Amino acid sequence: MTYLAKLRELNPLVHNITNIVVANFSANGLLALGASPFMADAHEEVADVAAMSGAVVLNIGTLNEQLIASMVLAGQSANQHNVPLVLDPVGAGATAYRSEVTQRLLKEMQITALRGNVAEVANVAGESWASKGVDAGAGDGDVIALANKAALKLGSVVIITGKEDVITDGSRTFIVSNGHPVLTKVTGTGCLLSAVVGAFLAVSEGNGLEAAAEAISFYGVAAEIAAELTAHKGPGDFQIEFLNQLAMVTPQIYSEKSRIRLFNQ
Ligand code: ATP
Ligand code: TZP
Ligand code: MG
Ligand code: MG
């Protein structure tokens, strides 16, 4: 049975503390997929929401100190209640503040998975990579080595997305080659993906690496079909069709189109 089928059967609650750009898109994407989104960031309630959820997803896209305090409370509650925890360190490395906040969060909690672009993960790993705001710049470093370094440092699954995606726990590494370039023309596709990883981790029963790889590949398959159906249109139509496909890609379609390979060292 795929994690996708299990997710649709169990409809896990996914607690998101995310940015103002993507909150609506993330909630709609999770609903379309078959999860149950809960966007909550008040410090008075985040520990309770995290405790009752199947996964918690923290995203620093539009950060401020109040939000970070809530993220610490939610992350620590997730840890106490064995709830999988995802961090999307949006823009880490782009400003000193984002880098510092990311380190602070990682010190205060144990995450299950980190999902970012190559520049963000490089920053977490203590390396540097060009960036332009929240987007990764071009570079010619070893992306797999970077992902491994970050995974060993954090003791978590690390996912670096881009044209090809790298998913590793520092010991085994999967490469996913699904996806479509039009994803880069819709804001929040990385952020929604981090939330989708949370939904898959919620039904992973401890197999975080496999569940994360399936999440990434499934997302790419949905994008490929949506891009094909809207090939004669622009990113606006793609965005809507992508939400449709997050709901319509079945485990069978997923299995036919998935391109995941194990990377041999
Ligand atoms: P960035 O801000 O650098 O764009 P992000 O946080 O938006 O990063 P992405 O790396 O863009 O995250 O990943 C979001 C999704 O887009 C992933 O499914 C990824 O596989 C896909 N993707 C990104 N670039 C490409 C590409 N050139 N071709 C195919 N898929 C891509
Ligand atoms: N600015 C701050 S957060 C954000 C922007 C544009 C959204 C970034 O979303 P993604 O998924 O990383 O493209
Ligand atoms: Mg992107
Ligand atoms: Mg991002």
3-class SS string, 174-231: EEECCCCHHHHHCCCHHHHHHHHHHHHHHCCCCCHHHHHHHHHHHHHHHHHHHHHHCC
Per-domain residue ranges of the chain: 3-262
The pLDDT confidence band at residue 265, using thresholds 50, 70 and 90, is low
The pLDDT confidence band at residue 135, using thresholds 50, 70 and 90, is confident
26 lines ligand 1 (CB under 6 A): no
* Statement: residue 137 has pLDDT above 90: no
The pLDDT confidence band at residue 139, using thresholds 50, 70 and 90, is confident
Instruction: Find out whether 115 is annotated in a ligand binding site.
Output: yes
Domain 3-262 of CATH type 3.30.70.330: no
Q: Listing from the earlier edge strand, what are the strands of the sheet with 36-39?
A: 36-39, 13-17, 55-59, 85-88, 113-117, 157-161, 165-168, 173-176, 260-262
Ligand nearest to the CA of 61: 2
Instruction: Find out whether 188 is annotated in a ligand binding site.
Output: yes
Distance of CA 183 from the midpoint of ligand 2 (Å): 12
Distance of CA 89 from the midpoint of ligand 4 (Å): 8
21 lines ligand 2 (CB under 6 A): yes
Kindly report, residue by residue over 230-246, the tens digit of the pLDDT.
999 999 999 999 999 99
Distance of CA 137 from the midpoint of ligand 4 (Å): 12
